[in-house]
Amino acid sequence: MKPTIRSLLVLLFLVIFFLAAVGWAQYSPSLRWKTLRTPHFDIHYVAGNDSLALRAAYIIEEEVYPRVTRYFNYLPGRTDFVLNTCVDIPNGFAASFPRRMEVLMDFPSVPFSAYSDSDWLSYVALHEFVHINHLYMARGGFANFLKLFGQMNLVNAMTSAWFLEGTAVNLETSCTTGGRGRSTYHRGKLWAQLAAGRLGNLVRDGNFLPNSLPRDKPYVTGYFFLNYLRQKYGDDIIMQVSDYYSKFPFLGLNWAFRRKTGKWVGTLYKDFLKKERQQMQVYLDSLPANPQPYIFRTNERLEFYGKPLWLDNRRILIHCTSNEEFPTLYRIDLQTGRKRRVKRLSVLPSQCNGLANNKFYYSWVRPDPLYPSQIVSDIYELNLDSGKVRRLTQNAHLKSPSPSPDGRQIVAVRNEKGYSNLVLLDLESNPPGVYQLTHFKRANTLNPCWSPDGETIAFCLNQQGQQALYTVSRNGSNLQKRLVLPHQLQFKTGILLPTFTPDGRTVIFVSNFRGMENIFAFELETKNLYQLTFEPWGAYSPAISPDGEKLAFTAEDADGRHLVVIPMNRQQWKAVPLLKIRLEEKYSIFTKKEIPTYFRLDSLRPAENYNGLRQLFPPKWWLPMAIADSRGGALGIFSFPMDALGKHAAQLMVVYNPKTEKPYGNLFYRYAGIFPHPKVHLYSLPVKRTYWSEPGSYWTRYSGGEI
C-alpha cells in the first residue's frame, strides 16, 4: 500500500472516530451550567447569567404558568426550561422526550415581533408552554390509558399543525402585550393568498407543504381562523375543543369541533374566509387609486429578494433565495433587465447588509461544527472584484452590518442575551477592533445605517413598549430621539430598516403606521412625515439611488417577495393621516388583575450546579416491545431517557419470557460532559446462530459489555 493511501485511510479513520465521539453533543463541554428551581420549572442556564435566570423565573411563574394552566384547566407537571444564550437566532421550541422547552435568546428584527412592546422572552416562553400543555394534555379514560406508558402522549403531537400553532399564537397574543397576532405583517401574508384565490382548503392552507406560501402557513392561517372562532363562540372555544379532543382523540379534531360548535371544521373555515374577504375589500378600497408607476419589478414565483444595494444609478446588487437553489447574490441591470449571478452563497444573509468600496458586508449565523446548539453570528466581507470571502469577527454575536461611506468602519448590532446595542468595527486594524457605541439597558437596537457624510448613524430602538427612530454621532455622542409613531388601533406600530436620502436631510423607513408595512419619509428638519409606497401586502428594505431619483424596495405578494423600483417623485408623496379602517380583533383573555400574584423571587433557593444524571432514572416514559427467543418471544419495555441539555443519554430495554423464565436486557449510556465522550454498553440478549459443520441453528444468550 502506498504511503499516501495509508495516510488517507488513517486520516479517514480518525475523522470517523472524532465525529462519532461528538455525534450526540449539543453544547460544548467547556460550558458550565446551573439550575434554578422554581415551583413548576427547572431553569437551566450558562453560569454567569443569574440575572437572566431570575427574569425568566419571574416571567414563567408569574405571567406564563398561571395564564396557560388556568385557560386549559390542566397542569402538565414539572418542566425543564433551557435558556440558550449560545445562539443568535430568535426562536424557541418544545419537546416531549425529555419534557422541556427552550428559548434562544436573541431579539428578532423582522416585523412580526419587532413591533412588540412585550418582553421577547415573555411571549416566546408562553408560546412554547402552550405546546407543552398540548403535548401532555389528556382527560378521562384516555388519560388513565396513557399512565401505562408514563409521561407520553404521541396522539396530541399528531394534531393538525394549524391547530397546534394557531392555539399557541392566539395565547401568546391574548396573554401578553406582544405576539404575532398584533402584527400587520401576518395579516398581509394571509390576505395576499386570499386575494390570489389560493385559500379554500384548510388541510392545504394550514399545514407545511412544499412550494407553498406563506412558508409559515400553520401560524398565519391557524391564528386568524381560531381568532375568528373566539370572536364567534367565545374566548374559551379553543379550550373546549382541546378538552374534548383530549378525552376522545381517536374521534379526531373535526369531530371535536362538531361537538362544540355544531359545525364541521370545513364549514367553519368557509365562514371565516367569507368574513376575511369582506375585511380585505374594505382595506383595498382605502388604498389610493393611482399608485406610483413601476420602473422595474421582478415577477418570479417562489423567489424572495433581500435588501437592494445600489452599485450605481442603473445597477442593483441584491441576494435572492428560492426553493430550487442556494441563496445567490445577483447584479441586476435596470435598463436591460438582465440578472447576472455574482456569487452563490452558502447561507442566506440577513435582511440588513451593506456595500462600500465594491465590498459586500453581511452577517452569517454559523452553527458550530461540533455542537449544533451553539450558533453564533459574525460579520463577513465579500470582495466583488476577486470573489473572496473574509471573516471579520470571531464569535462576536454581531449582525446587521452597515459600512461607513468611506469603508473604514462598520456599525453593527450585538446580541446581549436577548437585548442588543450598537458597536463599531474598525476595519483599519487587524483583526478589526470592536467598540461599544450605545449603552442601552433592557432595550433592542435594530437596523443601523450611516448618513451620506459618515458623521451620523440612524437606527431603530425598541424599549419599554415603544419603538422609535434615533440618531447618534459616530463617536457615540449627540443621541437624539427623532420620531415615535403611536400605536394604531389594535396593531402595534413600528419603525424598521431606516436609510438616508443622498442629501442626508430625510430618513426613509418601513412602518405599519397606516395598516400594512409600507415605506415612509421623515424630514429631520421640518419633521414632516410622508408615505411613499402603497403596496397592498407590504413593502420592505428601501434603498435610494445615488442620484436620489429612484427608490428600490422589496414588495410582498402571493408569489413571494419581489424587487421593485419606482421614481422618487416628491410631488407624489402623501402626508400621513391616521388609519381610518378598523379591523375588528379581540385579544385579551386575561388581564393582570385576574391572575393572583403568589410567586416571589426571594423565596427561591440559590441556583445549583446542573445535574443531568438524576434526570435519567427512573425513566419518565416507556413503550412495550417484543423480541424473539427460543420459546417464541419475550415481552418487555423500552425507553430512551435523556437529560434536558443532552449531556446524558441512555437506551434501556428489559424483556421477559415466562415460558423460559429468562430475563433479557440492554443498557447503553453516553456522557457528553467531557471529550471524547465515554460510552458504556451492557447487554444480555437471545441470539439465533447457525451451525458451521451441519445444517440447522440454535439459540444462545449473547452477553457482554463494551466501553
C-alpha cell at position 89: 437566532
When computed from its CA atoms, the radius of gyration of the chain, rounded to whole angstroms, is 28
Q: How far is CA 593 from the centre of its chain?
A: 31
Which has the minimum average pLDDT: 114-128, 319-333, 502-516, 593-607? 593-607
The mean pLDDT value for 18-37 works out to 69
For residues 144 and 407, the model is more confident at 407
What does the alpha-carbon distance between residue 447 and residue 356 come to, in Å, rounded to a whole number? 17
631 has pLDDT over 60: yes
The mean pLDDT value for 357-372 works out to 86
The mean pLDDT value for 421-429 works out to 93
Domain boundaries, the chain: 31-285, 296-575, 613-706
Given its phi and psi angles, is residue 394 left (phi above 0), alpha (psi -120 to 50 degrees) or beta?
A: beta
Give the contacts of 203 (CB within 8 A, at least 6 positions apart).
160
pLDDT recorded at residue 13: 39
In degrees, rounded to 5, the angle at the alpha carbon of residue 555 between the alpha carbons of residues 456 and 360 is 45
| CB-CB contact of 329 with 341 (8 Å) | yes
| CB-CB contact of 399 with 390 (8 Å) | no
pLDDT recorded at residue 120: 80
What does the alpha-carbon distance between residue 222 and residue 213 come to, in Å, rounded to a whole number? 14
C-beta neighbour count of 529 within 10 angstroms? 17
| CB-CB contact of 569 with 549 (8 Å) | no
Which has the minimum average pLDDT: 139-148, 185-194, 413-422, 471-480? 139-148
pLDDT recorded at residue 587: 39
C-alpha cell at position 362: 453581511
- Name the burial class of residue 210, with classes exposed (0-12), middle (13-18) and buried (19+) by CB atoms within 10 angstroms of its CB: exposed
589 has pLDDT over 50: no
Query: How confident is the model over 253-298, as pLDDT tens digits?
Result: 999 999 999 999 999 999 999 999 999 999 999 888 767 789 999 9
* Structure confidence at residue 96 as a pLDDT band (50, 70, 90): confident
pLDDT recorded at residue 487: 63
Q: How far is CA 625 from CA 392, 568, 656, in A?
A: 54, 70, 11
What does the alpha-carbon distance between residue 355 and residue 384 come to, in Å, rounded to a whole number? 10
| CB-CB contact of 157 with 138 (8 Å) | no
What does the alpha-carbon distance between residue 195 and residue 177 come to, in Å, rounded to a whole number? 30
Given its phi and psi angles, is residue 573 left (phi above 0), alpha (psi -120 to 50 degrees) or beta?
A: beta
Q: Return the CATH superfamily for domain 296-575.
A: TolB, C-terminal domain (2.120.10.30)
101 has pLDDT over 90: yes
C-beta neighbour count of 430 within 10 angstroms? 8
31-285 maps to which CATH number?
1.10.390
pLDDT recorded at residue 491: 61
Q: Return the C-alpha torsion angle 354, 356, 359, 362, nearest 10.
A: -20
Residues composing the chain = 707
pTM exceeds 0.85 for this model: yes
417 has pLDDT over 50: yes
C-alpha cell at position 636: 418487555
Query: How confident is the model over 156-171, as pLDDT tens digits?
Result: 778 899 999 999 999 9
From 507, 504, 502, select the one nearest 520 (Cα to Cα): 507
| CB-CB contact of 680 with 668 (8 Å) | yes
Query: How confident is the model over 531-543, as pLDDT tens digits?
Result: 999 999 999 999 9
66-75, 257-266, 665-674 — most confident range: 257-266
